[in-house]
Protein backbone atom coordinates (compact mmCIF):
# COMPACT_ATOMS: atom_id res chain seq x y z
CA UNK A 1 0.00 0.00 0.00
CA UNK A 2 1.17 3.54 -0.75
CA UNK A 3 2.57 5.71 2.07
CA UNK A 4 1.45 9.33 2.54
CA UNK A 5 3.12 11.58 5.11
CA UNK A 6 1.84 15.09 5.84
CA UNK A 7 4.40 17.56 7.21
CA UNK A 8 2.60 20.09 9.37
CA UNK A 9 4.14 23.23 10.83
CA UNK A 10 4.34 27.01 10.53
CA UNK A 11 6.12 28.93 7.75
CA UNK A 12 9.90 28.62 7.94
CA UNK A 13 9.95 25.70 10.38
CA UNK A 14 11.76 23.41 7.92
CA UNK A 15 8.99 21.47 6.13
CA UNK A 16 10.56 21.84 2.68
CA UNK A 17 14.05 21.01 3.95
CA UNK A 18 12.83 17.83 5.65
CA UNK A 19 10.48 16.85 2.81
CA UNK A 20 13.38 16.76 0.33
CA UNK A 21 15.47 14.57 2.65
CA UNK A 22 12.58 12.22 3.50
CA UNK A 23 11.54 11.91 -0.12
CA UNK A 24 15.09 10.78 -1.04
CA UNK A 25 15.41 8.42 1.91
CA UNK A 26 11.97 6.84 1.51
CA UNK A 27 11.73 6.92 -2.28
CA UNK A 28 8.48 8.86 -2.16
CA UNK A 29 7.39 11.84 -4.27
CA UNK A 30 7.72 15.31 -2.70
CA UNK A 31 4.62 17.43 -3.19
CA UNK A 32 4.97 21.06 -2.10
CA UNK A 33 1.89 23.19 -2.73
CA UNK A 34 4.00 26.37 -2.40
CA UNK A 35 6.53 25.11 -5.00
CA UNK A 36 3.68 24.18 -7.37
CA UNK A 37 2.21 27.67 -7.06
CA UNK A 38 5.65 29.27 -7.59
CA UNK A 39 6.15 27.15 -10.70
CA UNK A 40 2.81 28.38 -12.04
CA UNK A 41 3.78 31.97 -11.28
CA UNK A 42 7.10 31.50 -13.11
CA UNK A 43 5.27 30.01 -16.13
CA UNK A 44 2.67 32.81 -15.99
CA UNK A 45 -0.30 30.43 -16.03
CA UNK A 46 -3.80 31.53 -15.06
CA UNK A 47 -3.44 29.60 -11.78
CA UNK A 48 -0.12 31.35 -11.16
CA UNK A 49 -1.67 34.78 -11.65
CA UNK A 50 -4.49 33.97 -9.24
CA UNK A 51 -2.15 32.42 -6.63
CA UNK A 52 0.20 35.41 -6.74
CA UNK A 53 -2.53 37.79 -5.58
CA UNK A 54 -2.93 35.77 -2.37
CA UNK A 55 0.70 34.72 -1.81
CA UNK A 56 2.07 38.25 -2.06
CA UNK A 57 -0.17 39.22 0.89
CA UNK A 58 0.65 36.08 2.89
CA UNK A 59 -2.94 34.81 2.55
CA UNK A 60 -4.01 31.30 1.60
CA UNK A 61 -4.98 30.54 -1.99
CA UNK A 62 -8.69 29.48 -2.06
CA UNK A 63 -9.39 25.84 -1.20
CA UNK A 64 -11.06 24.85 -4.50
CA UNK A 65 -8.11 25.75 -6.74
CA UNK A 66 -5.56 24.38 -4.26
CA UNK A 67 -7.41 21.07 -3.93
CA UNK A 68 -7.74 20.72 -7.74
CA UNK A 69 -3.99 21.37 -8.17
CA UNK A 70 -3.03 18.70 -5.60
CA UNK A 71 -5.51 16.19 -6.99
CA UNK A 72 -3.90 16.56 -10.39
CA UNK A 73 -0.38 16.23 -8.92
CA UNK A 74 -1.33 13.06 -7.00
CA UNK A 75 -2.45 11.43 -10.23
CA UNK A 76 1.13 11.47 -11.61
CA UNK A 77 2.83 8.07 -11.76
CA UNK A 78 5.62 9.05 -9.32
CA UNK A 79 3.00 9.15 -6.53
CA UNK A 80 2.07 5.50 -6.96
CA UNK A 81 4.12 4.47 -3.88
CA UNK A 82 3.03 7.53 -1.94
CA UNK A 83 4.25 11.04 -1.21
CA UNK A 84 5.57 13.49 1.34
CA UNK A 85 3.03 16.32 1.44
CA UNK A 86 4.60 19.68 2.33
CA UNK A 87 2.24 22.62 2.85
CA UNK A 88 -0.94 20.71 2.05
CA UNK A 89 -3.45 20.34 3.66
CA UNK A 90 -3.64 23.75 5.30
CA UNK A 91 -7.34 23.99 6.19
CA UNK A 92 -9.89 21.44 7.51
CA UNK A 93 -11.62 21.49 4.08
CA UNK A 94 -8.30 20.56 2.42
CA UNK A 95 -7.75 17.76 4.97
CA UNK A 96 -11.21 16.31 4.23
CA UNK A 97 -10.55 16.59 0.48
CA UNK A 98 -7.22 14.79 0.92
CA UNK A 99 -8.93 11.85 2.67
CA UNK A 100 -11.32 11.52 -0.31
CA UNK A 101 -8.51 11.82 -2.88
CA UNK A 102 -6.39 9.19 -1.17
CA UNK A 103 -9.30 6.75 -1.08
CA UNK A 104 -9.33 6.99 -4.88
CA UNK A 105 -5.64 6.03 -4.90
CA UNK A 106 -6.30 3.32 -2.25
CA UNK A 107 -4.17 5.19 0.24
CA UNK A 108 -4.54 7.12 3.48
CA UNK A 109 -2.53 9.58 5.55
CA UNK A 110 -0.12 7.37 7.50
CA UNK A 111 1.55 9.91 9.79
CA UNK A 112 1.64 13.65 10.44
CA UNK A 113 4.91 14.95 11.91
CA UNK A 114 4.09 18.38 13.38
CA UNK A 115 7.31 20.41 13.43
CA UNK A 116 7.36 23.24 15.97
CA UNK A 117 9.56 26.29 16.64
CA UNK A 118 8.97 29.68 18.27
CA UNK A 119 8.10 32.78 16.21
CA UNK A 120 11.53 34.47 16.55
CA UNK A 121 13.28 31.38 15.15
CA UNK A 122 10.84 31.23 12.21
CA UNK A 123 11.45 34.89 11.35
CA UNK A 124 15.22 34.47 11.60
CA UNK A 125 15.17 31.40 9.36
CA UNK A 126 13.04 33.03 6.68
CA UNK A 127 15.04 36.25 6.63
CA UNK A 128 18.22 34.23 5.89
CA UNK A 129 16.62 31.83 3.41
CA UNK A 130 17.75 31.40 -0.19
CA UNK A 131 15.64 29.12 -2.40
CA UNK A 132 16.73 27.24 -5.51
CA UNK A 133 15.07 28.29 -8.74
CA UNK A 134 14.88 24.81 -10.31
CA UNK A 135 13.68 22.53 -7.51
CA UNK A 136 12.92 24.58 -4.41
CA UNK A 137 15.90 23.44 -2.29
CA UNK A 138 16.23 25.71 0.78
CA UNK A 139 19.50 27.19 2.07
CA UNK A 140 20.22 29.65 4.84
CA UNK A 141 23.06 32.13 5.13
CA UNK A 142 23.41 31.34 8.85
CA UNK A 143 22.20 27.77 9.40
CA UNK A 144 22.68 25.96 6.10
CA UNK A 145 24.84 27.96 3.66
CA UNK A 146 25.33 26.73 0.09
CA UNK A 147 28.88 25.65 -0.79
CA UNK A 148 29.03 28.40 -3.42
CA UNK A 149 27.16 31.67 -2.75
CA UNK A 150 24.05 32.05 -4.93
CA UNK A 151 24.24 28.52 -6.39
CA UNK A 152 22.24 25.39 -5.41
CA UNK A 153 24.47 22.53 -4.13
CA UNK A 154 22.15 19.91 -5.64
CA UNK A 155 21.31 21.13 -9.14
CA UNK A 156 23.54 24.16 -9.77
CA UNK A 157 20.57 26.48 -10.34
CA UNK A 158 20.39 30.10 -9.16
CA UNK A 159 19.31 30.85 -5.56
CA UNK A 160 16.77 33.62 -4.97
CA UNK A 161 14.97 35.24 -2.02
CA UNK A 162 11.22 34.69 -1.97
CA UNK A 163 8.98 37.79 -2.29
CA UNK A 164 6.86 36.61 0.64
CA UNK A 165 9.91 36.42 2.97
CA UNK A 166 9.69 40.17 3.77
CA UNK A 167 9.20 40.56 7.53
CA UNK A 168 5.66 42.00 7.29
CA UNK A 169 4.47 39.21 4.98
CA UNK A 170 6.19 36.58 7.13
CA UNK A 171 4.31 37.85 10.20
CA UNK A 172 1.01 37.65 8.31
CA UNK A 173 1.81 34.10 7.11
CA UNK A 174 2.51 32.99 10.68
CA UNK A 175 -0.78 34.55 11.84
CA UNK A 176 -2.65 32.80 9.00
CA UNK A 177 -1.07 29.51 10.10
CA UNK A 178 -2.36 29.95 13.66
CA UNK A 179 -5.83 31.07 12.50
CA UNK A 180 -6.50 28.69 9.62
CA UNK A 181 -4.06 25.75 9.72
CA UNK A 182 -3.57 25.03 13.44
CA UNK A 183 -7.05 23.36 13.72
CA UNK A 184 -5.41 20.51 11.80
CA UNK A 185 -3.28 19.75 14.87
CA UNK A 186 -6.30 18.52 16.81
CA UNK A 187 -7.82 17.00 13.64
CA UNK A 188 -4.82 14.70 13.13
CA UNK A 189 -4.35 14.13 16.87
CA UNK A 190 -7.93 12.81 17.04
CA UNK A 191 -7.14 10.54 14.08
CA UNK A 192 -4.08 9.29 16.01
CA UNK A 193 -1.70 10.41 13.27
CA UNK A 194 0.11 13.33 14.93
CA UNK A 195 3.71 13.15 16.18
CA UNK A 196 5.31 16.27 17.65
CA UNK A 197 8.83 17.09 16.50
CA UNK A 198 11.06 19.76 18.03
CA UNK A 199 12.07 21.90 15.04
CA UNK A 200 14.70 23.82 17.01
CA UNK A 201 17.15 20.93 16.64
CA UNK A 202 19.66 20.76 13.81
CA UNK A 203 18.42 19.68 10.36
CA UNK A 204 19.99 16.21 10.86
CA UNK A 205 18.43 15.81 14.32
CA UNK A 206 14.98 16.79 13.03
CA UNK A 207 15.28 14.18 10.25
CA UNK A 208 16.32 11.56 12.78
CA UNK A 209 13.39 12.42 15.06
CA UNK A 210 10.90 12.20 12.18
CA UNK A 211 12.30 8.90 10.91
CA UNK A 212 12.22 7.33 14.35
CA UNK A 213 8.63 8.51 14.89
CA UNK A 214 7.41 7.21 11.53
CA UNK A 215 5.93 3.82 11.77
CA UNK A 216 6.04 3.35 8.00
P1 LIG B 1 4.82 27.56 1.24
O2 LIG B 1 5.78 27.67 0.16
O3 LIG B 1 4.28 26.24 1.63
O4 LIG B 1 5.41 28.30 2.49
P5 LIG B 1 5.24 28.05 4.07
O6 LIG B 1 4.34 27.01 4.56
O7 LIG B 1 4.95 29.41 4.53
O8 LIG B 1 6.58 27.45 4.50
P9 LIG B 1 7.97 27.83 3.98
O10 LIG B 1 8.22 27.21 2.65
O11 LIG B 1 8.15 29.30 4.12
O12 LIG B 1 8.89 27.15 5.09
P13 LIG B 1 9.35 25.65 5.28
O14 LIG B 1 8.64 25.10 6.48
O15 LIG B 1 9.25 24.88 4.01
O16 LIG B 1 10.86 25.90 5.67
P17 LIG B 1 12.21 25.62 4.88
O18 LIG B 1 12.52 24.16 4.84
O19 LIG B 1 12.27 26.38 3.61
O20 LIG B 1 3.55 28.50 0.91
C21 LIG B 1 3.72 29.79 0.40
C22 LIG B 1 2.35 30.40 0.10
O23 LIG B 1 1.67 29.61 -0.89
C24 LIG B 1 1.36 30.47 1.27
O25 LIG B 1 1.58 31.63 2.06
C26 LIG B 1 0.03 30.50 0.53
O27 LIG B 1 -0.22 31.77 -0.01
C28 LIG B 1 0.28 29.54 -0.62
N29 LIG B 1 -0.06 28.15 -0.28
C30 LIG B 1 0.80 27.10 -0.20
N31 LIG B 1 0.15 25.98 0.14
C32 LIG B 1 -1.16 26.32 0.26
C33 LIG B 1 -2.32 25.59 0.62
N34 LIG B 1 -2.28 24.28 0.91
N35 LIG B 1 -3.49 26.26 0.65
C36 LIG B 1 -3.57 27.56 0.34
N37 LIG B 1 -2.50 28.33 0.03
C38 LIG B 1 -1.30 27.71 -0.01
O39 LIG B 1 13.25 26.26 5.93
C40 LIG B 1 13.25 27.67 6.21
C41 LIG B 1 14.69 28.16 6.42
O42 LIG B 1 15.21 27.57 7.60
C43 LIG B 1 15.65 27.76 5.29
O44 LIG B 1 16.56 28.81 5.12
C45 LIG B 1 16.35 26.50 5.83
O46 LIG B 1 17.65 26.33 5.31
C47 LIG B 1 16.38 26.78 7.33
N48 LIG B 1 16.24 25.58 8.16
C49 LIG B 1 15.46 24.48 7.95
N50 LIG B 1 15.54 23.61 8.97
C51 LIG B 1 16.41 24.18 9.88
C52 LIG B 1 16.90 23.75 11.15
N53 LIG B 1 16.51 22.59 11.71
N54 LIG B 1 17.76 24.59 11.80
C55 LIG B 1 18.14 25.78 11.25
N56 LIG B 1 17.70 26.23 10.04
C57 LIG B 1 16.84 25.43 9.37
MG1 LIG C 1 8.59 25.32 2.06
Alpha-carbon span 125 to 10, nearest angstrom: 12
Q: Per DSSP, what are the bridge partners of residue 32?
A: 86
34 CB within 6 A, ligand 1: yes
Cα–Cα distance list, 12 to 79, 138, 155 (Å): 25, 10, 22
54 CB within 6 A, ligand 1: yes
pTM assigned to the model: 0.96
Instruction: Look at strands 109-116 and 138-140 and give their pairing.
Output: unpaired
Backbone torsion region of residue 175, taken as left when φ is above 0, otherwise alpha when ψ lies between -120 and 50, otherwise beta: alpha
The structural architecture, per CATH, of the domain 2-118+181-213 is 3-Layer(aba) Sandwich (3.40)
**Atom 25 of ligand 1 has which residue's CA nearest to it?**
58
90 CB within 6 A, ligand 1: yes
**pLDDT at position 107:** 87
Alpha-carbon span 138 to 150, nearest angstrom: 12
**pLDDT at position 105:** 77
**Atom 41 of ligand 1 has which residue's CA nearest to it?**
125
Alpha-carbon span 130 to 125, nearest angstrom: 10
Which residues, given as ranges, of the chain have pLDDT below 50?
none
Amino acid sequence: MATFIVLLGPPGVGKGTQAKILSDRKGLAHISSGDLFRENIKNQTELGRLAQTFMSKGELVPDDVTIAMIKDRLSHPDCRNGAILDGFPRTPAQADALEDMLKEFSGRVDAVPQITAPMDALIERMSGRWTCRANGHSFNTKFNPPKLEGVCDYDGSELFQRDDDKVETVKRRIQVYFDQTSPLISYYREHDKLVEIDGLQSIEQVTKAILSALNV
